[in-house]
Amino acid sequence: MKKIFVVISFVASLVLSGCSFLQETNNTLEYVNKATEHINNLSNFADQAPQMIQQAALNAEVKTELENQVNSLVNEINEFNQIDAPTIAKDLHQQIVSKNNLILEELQPVIQNGQILVDKLEDTQIFITIKEINTLLNQLQQLGL
């Protein structure tokens, strides 16, 4: 009877540890997807914003769209920074959060009363910071393998 109990306990512990491993794998894949989407959104902004900055001086609609994109970017960064990354991705997540915080700092003088100061946006280092975040994409994709 004792042997059966020991065997059942051993099998149960194997099953439970397997479930834990599967959960961690699922969490990692979910994180990789969220982080990849976040980096892609930053890249899209960096690709579109320079042209929008030039057009915003002459076109109020473009300026409004640019303001909306910057405000959305700020919200997305704040949301992403709150994600609880899986253990395997903690260091990478912290690197992204550091760059995100740098972007937020760079945007502070650009946003005043919800309005974007277009000329100040053009003078920031935000686009360089986004390119630096882009370099983390390869590391992120390796986690998803």
Structural domains counted in the chain: 1
pLDDT computed for residue 76 by the predictor = 98
Query: Are 67 and 114 a contacting pair, CB within 8 Å?
Result: yes
- Residue 2: pLDDT band (50, 70, 90) is low
| Domain range for 38 | 31-143
Query: Are 121 and 110 a contacting pair, CB within 8 Å?
Result: yes
Q: What is the pTM of this model?
A: 0.80
**Exposure letters 123-145 (e unless 16+ CB within 10 A, then b):** ebebbebbeebeebeeebeebee
- Residue 90: pLDDT band (50, 70, 90) is very high
Short-list 24, 41, 40, 20, CA closest to 141: 40
In a domain, 22, yes or no: no
